[in-house]
Amino acid sequence: MRRFLIDTDTASDDAVALVMAARHPDCQIEAVTVVAGNVPLEQGVQNALYTLALCDRADIPVYAGAAAPLLRPLITAQVTHGNDGMGNIGLPLHGRTPAAGHAVDVLSDTIRRYPNEITLVTLGPLTNLALALLRDPGLAALVPRCVLMGGCADSRGNANPVAEYNIWTDPEAAQIVFESGLPLTMVGWDISRQFAVFDEAAAADLRAVGTPLAHFCVDIQHEVDRFARTVTRLAGFDLPDPITMAVALEPEIATTQDYYVAVETTSRLCRGQTVVDYVGLWQRPPNVAVTLSARRERFIELLKQALR
């Protein structure tokens, strides 16, 4: 069993990623930590608890973390995911109690309890992880692999013209994480846009798995599907966090290349851009394994396996 730590701002695509990990036979989730992002912190906690209960995995502890970015006010993505983050389809997303403790402490304590064993997967803004690294910079050397959903290697964004939402929301936190020495694999929104879009036929094929989990994972994309078709101009909803989880579960799904990547924090126009130095102009050592492509067929098969 591989030990996973998952940090998330649980909304519709995060929930599908949690399903994939919670139902994978080789994945032992030590904890789920929640950060404000797609939805306010309290809603993200409830969404994570609901999803894990649906997977019969209420044994996995869920911890609340940072309620806002390091230096900026929180701007949620509820316009994308719905007010509840789960498609506004009427799910009972309230009344559950998270585990006692703070997500930042849990990240630090768990990594130190299992040095060189934790696969860290981040699905939201990097605020919790940045706070843990600021307090304990030595953590970076104890994580063998950190797979993050964030950024875009082609500078085509969904939060502004050049930035992806998770990095844009808290660029200062992202800068801390990218410069920390963590062994980062970046799965950008460009990968989701190319390999994880579900048009009507693909969504119907996923629903045809026929289980309550399959229906759940499609139904909660209701608002994302609308947003994708009208704003980001995709053929249907995309699943950036699930394809990131697929890369975490099976690294061979991704084709990566090591580059130096900087995060823009000061520009009014380009806040949150992940600037990839493809030709080495800055003469800086690589700090990120940038995902360049992914195997869509294997990703979908992993997803269906989790839903069956």
Domains, the chain: 2-307 (3.90.245.10)
Sign of CA dihedral 269, 272, 277, 282: positive
Beta pairing class for 274-277 and 254-263:
antiparallel
Residue 83's pLDDT is what? 98
Q: How far apart are CA 205 and CA 258, in angstroms?
A: 35
- As beta bridge partners, residue 274 has 263
Residue 203's pLDDT is what? 98
Place of tokens 């304990």: 136
Phi, psi at 3, each rounded to 5°: -90, 125
Choose among 298, 186, 195, 290: nearest CA to 246: 298
pLDDT tens digit string along 190-223? Answer: 999 999 999 999 999 999 999 999 999 999 999 9
Looking at the chain, the whole-number percentage of residues with pLDDT higher than 70 is 100
Low-confidence ranges of the chain (pLDDT < 50): none
Residues whose CB is less than 8 angstroms from the CB of residue 301 and which lie 6 or more positions away in sequence, other chains included: none
Residue 275's pLDDT is what? 98
DSSP H or E stretch at residue 46: helix 41-54
Residue 1's pLDDT is what? 87
Taking CA atoms, 20 is separated from 266, 306, 308, in Å, by 36, 5, 11
Provide the whole-model pTM. Answer: 0.97
The greatest distance separating any two alpha carbons of the chain, rounded to the nearest whole angstrom, comes to: 53
Tell me the two tokens of residue 21. Answer: 């990990």
Residues whose CB is less than 8 angstroms from the CB of residue 25 and which lie 6 or more positions away in sequence, other chains included: none
Residue 120's pLDDT is what? 98
- As beta bridge partners, residue 2 has 27
Buried b (16+ CB within 10 A) or exposed e, 151-168: bbbbbebbbbebbbbbbb
Q: How far apart are CA 53 and CA 56, in angstroms?
A: 5
pLDDT tens digit string along 79-122? Answer: 999 999 999 999 999 999 999 999 999 999 999 999 999 999 99
Place of tokens 């989701």: 192
- As beta bridge partners, residue 197 has 238
Place of tokens 């990594």: 111
